[in-house]
């Protein structure tokens, strides 16, 4: 679908290497305004009514042009955060490195940022050149210049329905090329996450990275280790939920960007059983993404780390530790090794443990134990995880399907399924009988002769 839309765009858009802003009308870009967030349109309209420039910007514009549904909408304007905030009932200024405004509409947040000037060299940076604080506001042209890739430097005016292209981003989009604005090496030092984004966008567009943009990555890949772990977690999650996760992982490895992101991933992928499990998990994740369904980060990372948890679990159990304590120790060991570089927050880690700890409990199909499992908040996730294990030969597929049927069944059918289970064997009388303490015979009293 993406290829067809792009081929159609080639015939309609103005070609050429011209400099300066190009305004592309609706007949050429073919963005359907009905697919644009009403709240993002409202933010632009309010700001423009107050005399400011305001555009929907970045990835949303890129996705709309190629026929994808954007996950979120951002707005760029020449209004400062202090000028933006009073114009909306629910708006708050956030950020240290970049001060911007979150305009809240129910569950949707429209991130609204002020045009920023390119790096001047005076910003606060770390020892490797990564910008730590940068709040220098600029013009629309300067804002486009400081964006990372040309395909993200596109601005959509929902009022005039024009796309403003200052860096030939539409042309690169047509060619499916990811090209950096400015000197790639400098831009990567400013923000090493751009290397991960380059890989993700190339995979998403089914295209390639421009050679000049690609060459410095191998040399600068180690800079990824300087990125805050929480930000890395967010970017890895985007990579794994882009709709083609396994290809993203292969491209990360090809560019030397995999080290330190998922420290256990290389070990897992070298193991045939672990690789099969992860490939199946990512394949099913991609299928959910493509069908418009949501993906739980907890479930996804539980699947990625399960091969190592299972390996440690088996070793501890074979060494004489009981099943449940062995699984708890294995989970702690794997999560502790992972969170040193990737900030898996406590909520996700707690959900992952719950999914893992349910797995041995599926072995026991007796009504009393099953009723206790129903009470677990992640019961459904645990059953779906069991399906992955069964598909890879770790668990009996017939029993795994029984659990899925039970999870899907209405209450009356569920009750019938539980009645049909064989009753739990009762302990034999010899084991269950409590022995009565023997009465001690009282010692004979001595009588005086």
Residues taking part in catalysis: 72, 74, 148
| 250 class by beta-carbon count within 10 Å (0-12 exposed, 13-18 middle, 19+ buried) | middle
8-state DSSP, 443: P
- Residue 424 CB neighbour total at 10 angstroms: 12
58 φ/ψ sector (left φ>0, alpha ψ -120 to 50, else beta): left
Q: CA-to-CA distance for 189 and 185, rounded, in angstroms?
A: 6
Tokens in use for 353? Answer: 């443990």
For every residue of 361-374, DSSP letters joined together read: GGG---HHHHHHHH
Q: Cα-Cα-Cα-Cα dihedral of 315, 320, 324, 330, to 10°?
A: -30
Strands 108-114, 100-105: pairing is: antiparallel
8-state DSSP, 294: -
Quote the Cα angle for 34-26-59, to 5°. 65
- Residue 3 CB neighbour total at 10 angstroms: 11
43: CB partners within 8 A, 6+ apart: 54, 75, 88, 103, 110, 112
Alpha carbons within 13 angstroms on the beta-carbon side of residue 380 total: 5
Q: Where are the alpha helices (DSSP H) in 293-358?
A: 297-318, 323-339, 346-358
């Amino acid at each position: 679908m993406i290829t067809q839309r792009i081929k159609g765009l080639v015939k309609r858009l103005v070609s050429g290497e011209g400099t300066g802003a190009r305004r592309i009308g609706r007949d050429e870009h073919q963005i359907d305004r009905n697919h644009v967030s009403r709240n993002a349109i409202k933010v632009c309209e309010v700001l423009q009514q107050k005399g400011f420039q305001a555009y929907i910007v970045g990835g949303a514009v890129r996705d709309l042009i190629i026929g994808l549904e954007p996950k979120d909408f951002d707005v760029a304007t020449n209004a400062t955060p202090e000028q933006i905030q009073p114009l909306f009932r629910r708006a708050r200024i956030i950020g240290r490195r970049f001060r911007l405004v979150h305009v809240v509409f129910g569950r949707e947040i429209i991130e609204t940022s002020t045009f920023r000037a390119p790096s001047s060299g005076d910003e606060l940076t770390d020892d490797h050149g990564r910008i730590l604080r940068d709040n220098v506001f600029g013009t629309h042209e300067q804002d486009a210049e400081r964006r990372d890739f040309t395909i993200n430097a596109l601005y959509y005016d929902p009022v005039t329905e024009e796309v403003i292209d200052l860096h030939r981003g539409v042309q690169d989009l047509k060619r499916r090329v990811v090209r950096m604005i400015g000197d790639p090496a400098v831009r990567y030092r400013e923000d090493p996450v751009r290397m991960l984004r380059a890989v993700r966008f190339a995979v998403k567009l089914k295209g390639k990275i421009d050679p000049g943009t690609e060459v410095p990555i191998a040399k600068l890949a180690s800079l990824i280790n300087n990125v805050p772990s929480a930000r890395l977690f967010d970017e890895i999650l985007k990579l794994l939920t882009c709709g083609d996760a396994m290809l993203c992982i292969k491209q990360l490895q090809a560019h030397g960007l995999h080290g330190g992101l998922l420290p256990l991933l290389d070990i897992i992928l070298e193991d045939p059983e672990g690789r099969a499990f992860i490939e199946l998990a990512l394949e099913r994740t991609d299928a959910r993404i493509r069908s418009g369904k949501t993906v739980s980060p907890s479930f996804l990372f539980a699947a990625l780390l399960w091969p190592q948890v299972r390996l440690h679990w088996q070793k501890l159990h074979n060494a004489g530790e009981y099943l449940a304590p062995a699984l708890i120790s294995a989970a702690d060991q794997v999560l502790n090794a992972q969170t040193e570089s990737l900030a898996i927050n406590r909520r996700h880690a707690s959900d992952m443990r719950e999914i893992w700890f349910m797995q041995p409990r599926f072995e026991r199909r007796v009504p009393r134990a099953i009723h206790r499992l129903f009470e677990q908040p992640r019961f459904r996730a645990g059953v779906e995880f069991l399906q992955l294990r069964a598909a890879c030969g770790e668990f009996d597929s017939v029993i795994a399907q029984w659990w899925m049927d039970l999870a899907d069944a209405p209450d009356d059918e569920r009750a019938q399924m539980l009645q049909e289970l064989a009753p739990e064997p009762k302990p034999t009388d010899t084991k269950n009988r409590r022995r009565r303490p023997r009465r001690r015979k009282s010692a004979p009293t001595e009588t005086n002769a």
